């Protein structure tokens, strides 16, 4: 068995909150990302950026967490961005036909500039 803990670094820059999860996001730990996103959305920043540069894999529970976060952030007009998304993670987003509902940027700097 493997350790399921998901490390998430949270930074605030220019009224934006940047979350950087590290490791696979799956059924065993997506609740940690959900809680971190909920806390961030509650603070009503203008943007939330999820930096996926250190996420090699995400399953449908992680994807469901992102959909929930998008719906919550839309309610308070906070913009949600996904950045540095690996091909393996992009794959599940595309196969689920959800690539057009998320704003996906190459880097967090591009997301900050939007």
Judged by the rule CB under 8 A, the positions of this chain that interact with another protein are: 1-4, 24, 26-28, 57, 59-61, 63-65, 67-68, 70, 74, 79, 87-88, 90-92, 94-106
Closer of 39 and 114 to another protein (Cβ): 114
Supply the minimum distance, in Å, between the C-beta of residue 93 and another protein.
8
Closer of 19 and 105 to another protein (Cβ): 105
Supply the minimum distance, in Å, between the C-beta of residue 104 and another protein.
5
Query: Which of 64, 105, 56, 98 shows the shortest CA–CA distance to 84?
Result: 105
Closer of 20 and 65 to another protein (Cβ): 65
């Amino acid at each position: 068995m493997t350790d399921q803990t998901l490390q998430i670094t949270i930074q605030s820059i220019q009224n934006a909150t940047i979350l950087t999860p590290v490791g696979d996001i799956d059924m065993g730990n997506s609740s940690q990302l959900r809680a971190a996103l909920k806390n961030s959305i509650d603070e009503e920043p203008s943007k939330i950026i999820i930096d996926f540069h250190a996420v090699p894999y995400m399953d449908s529970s992680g994807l469901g967490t992102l959909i929930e976060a998008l719906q919550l952030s839309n309610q308070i007009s906070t913009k949600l961005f996904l950045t540095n998304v690996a091909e393996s993670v992009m794959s599940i987003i595309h196969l689920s036909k959800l690539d057009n509902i998320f704003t996906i940027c190459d880097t967090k700097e591009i997301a900050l500039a939007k």
